[in-house]
Amino acid sequence: MTTESYYGRNIVKEPVWTPEIPLYFWTGGIAGASAVLHGVARLAGNEQLAKRSLFIGAVADAVSPVLLVKDLGRPERFLNMFRMFKVTSPMSVGSWILLVSGGASNTAAALELLDALAPVKRVAGAVSLVAGPPLATYTGALVANTSIPVWSEARDQLPWLFGASATATAGAAATVLTPVGSAGPARRAAVIGAVAEGLVMRAMRRRLGFVGEVYDQGAAGTNARVARACTTAGAGLLALAGRRPAAARAGGLLVLAGGLALRFAVFKAGFQSARDPRYTVVPQRERLHARGSGVRASGQ
Amino acid sequence: MSSVTYGADAKPRVGFFTDTTICIGCKACEVACKEWNLIPADGLNWTGESYDNTSQLDANSWRHVAFVEQRKPLKLDGEQAELDGQPEPLRWLMESDVCKHCTHAGCLDACPTGALFRTEFGTVVVQEDVCNGCGYCVPACPFGVIDKRHLPRSPQDAPLALPLLGAKEDGRVWKCTLCYDRLKDGHEPACAKACPTDSIQFGELDELRERAKARLERLEGEGWNGARLYGDDPNDGVGGFGAFFLLLDEPEVYGLPPDPVVPTRHLPRLWRTTALAAAGVLVGLATAFVGGDA
């Protein structure tokens, strides 16, 4: 496919985000899905799993804003994120979701440790249960709502991909830290999430067509391959031998590593996609062609 | 738009019509912009790409003159075409690029802090005292215009990268303001003022669109090869540009996207997908509890 370009230069800019951002996509996903795991485990009467998910979620929720503030060009102005609530900006909506989720899960975790104010703890737990799922999926919308071809064109899949990976990694984290006798739901969550992630990834690649080839190349390709290998191996181990403590820990760690590599794959794919003007021009030309205005004669 | 926000204080929407057919590539616009807006120098680079050593719009270049050397005839008929009928026709295209000040601006929609705003003139401007450098506007822009000015990474970087502003002064995003300060005082932007051929024309957008249409008709009558307006259509993917162009080839030849669309156009559907996926996470995790604790 030959397209004209200006000395091969990029048209859209590469993102300016640092590696803290994909790291946050991972911790935010773990935090969001862990809050759900905690809430449902409480309802199901699985106290061991509930407590561990609560603490995992609280820690992930506490780490997340630190990562985000570190990425800012002017970290001392992080509070400006809360000057307004802006529904046209997934970054704004997400900041508020993280504030609510992190505040609630850390309140619940602190009260759990202190064994105090049980009604407040229950309310905080319920709030984090509600804020958890959007925390796990909005990051997909965040990257999809850009002009980066490989992100924008995957807007129907990215929230699902991140949600599936959040489910898998939260399940995996709980599997690693919970005695196997109580970790059944966590293991199953890791496997369900891993299977869903694989299916969504395939759907995304189908949707992307040639724009998706960046997932086979460079750093994005390496990360995508590592993600797939780790997640598949980890989920397989959990499904087949998850009742053995050593296998549960190894499987959980593999799924966690796979989730992290997946976020870096998506992150790096965005940079690679921005760099080559073909990915910007060809889909737009096809769009114009489909509208019947591909040959835009002078004027019109 | 601006009339809704500003009421009686709203001014007619202004912009640029950049007529590339009369650009001579002098770069007076780039220099005037840098001087007026106190934009730091960002190094002397020799690219070997015709006369273009600026390369692109970025945090430190708010006007950028593109130079394209082509083996194409300048005109399709008439006297010039006969000249160009020689075995090796050559034309040299020059285009002064700038922020498009979109009707539906991706950068503005994406900005979480409200640092980016729409002025009473209908232009899009960053408030440098509000921007916290989150960088979300950078990949949001369909044209790759807005950019983050990086903090010096090492002491050696500082003098070259930020001679005027000092070590701790940046990390925010920057782009053309359409000389908001000059507009406030009734002056035209520095680039338009400096342009010696009136390739850059400043004025009220409605009037500029009329002028551009007339100019295009004339060029078509004279048989100019590839003449077209870019960004003049209020029904395009960004609702029309506040700064639009008369080009002599496809937009991508100048490094411009052929069919730019503001990301926000897809956002309602994207939010629905996000909510559905969130419900999916809830259902998936609840399902995991079927089958008991072990």
Q: What is the pLDDT of residues B186-199, one digit of tens each?
A: 999 999 999 999 99
**Which residues of A fall within a CB distance of 8 Å from B228?**
296-300
Among residues of chain A, what percentage have pLDDT more than 90? 93
Classify residue A14: in a domain, yes or no.
Answer: no
Sign of CA dihedral B217, B223, B224, B227: positive
CB atoms A95 and B258 under 8 Å: no
pLDDT value for B41? 81
The answer, yes or no, to whether ipTM is higher than 0.90 is: yes
Closest CA–CA distance from residue B187 to any residue of chain A (Å): 31
Helices (H), chain A: 20-44, 47-71, 90-114, 118-144, 149-152, 158-177, 184-208, 218-241, 245-275, 277-291
Confidence of residue A299 (pLDDT cuts 50, 70, 90): very low
- Asked if the structure places residue A6 within a domain, the reply is no
Q: Please, what are the domains in chain B? A: 2-262 (3.30.70.20)
Q: Is residue A5 part of a domain?
A: no
Residue of chain A whose Cα is closest to the Cα of B231: A299
Please report residues of A whose CB lies closer than 8 A to that of B66. Answer: 6
**DSSP letters for B81-100:** HHHHTSSS--EEEEEEEE--
pLDDT tens, residue by residue, B39-85: 988 777 889 999 999 999 999 999 999 999 998 888 887 666 666 66
Residue of B nearest to A139 (CA): B274
Closest residue, chain B, to A150 (C-alpha) = B139
Q: Bigger pLDDT: B15 or B291?
A: B15
Residues in chain B within 8 Å Cβ distance of A142: 136
- Minimum Cα–Cα distance from A45: chain B residue: B293
Q: In this model, does residue B260 exceed pLDDT 70?
A: yes
Q: Are the CB atoms for B20 and B247 separated by under 8 Å? A: yes
pLDDT for the residue A171: 98
Partners of residue B285 in chain A, C-beta under 8 Å: 33, 36-37, 40, 167, 170-171, 185, 189
Domain containing A239: what range?
20-291
The side-by-side arrangement of strands in the sheet containing B200-204 is B200-204, B14-19, B243-247, B228-230
Question: Which chain B residues are closer than 8 Å to A74 by Cβ?
Answer: 131-133, 171-172
Domain count for chain A, please give it. Answer: 1
pLDDT at position A297:
42
B235 CB near a chain A CB, below 8 Å?
A: no
Return the residue of A nearest to B105 by Cα: A88
Asked whether residue A9 is assigned to any structural domain, the reply reads no
Nearest to B288 among A74, A140, A185 (CB): A185
Separation of alpha carbons B174 and A176, rounded Å? 46
pLDDT per residue over A166-222, tens digit each? 999 999 999 999 999 999 999 999 999 999 999 999 999 999 999 999 999 999 999
A254 belongs to a structural domain = yes
For residues A84-103, average pLDDT: 97
Report how far residue B82's alpha carbon sits from residue A296's, in angstroms, rounded to the nearest whole number.
25
CATH assignment at residue A24:
1.20.1630.10
B:71-110 residues touching chain A, CB 8 A cutoff: 106, 109-110
Question: Using CA atoms, how far apart are residues A154 and A212, in angstroms rounded to an integer?
Answer: 9
Interface test with B, best of A77, A169, A207, A289 (most B CBs within 10 A): A77
Per-residue pLDDT, averaged over B216-236, amounts to 95
A89:B109 CB<8 A: yes
Residue A10 forms part of a structural domain = no
Q: Which residue has the tokens 């995996």?
A: A172
Q: Please state, as a whole number, how many other Cβ atoms lie within 10 Å of the Cβ of residue B114.
A: 16
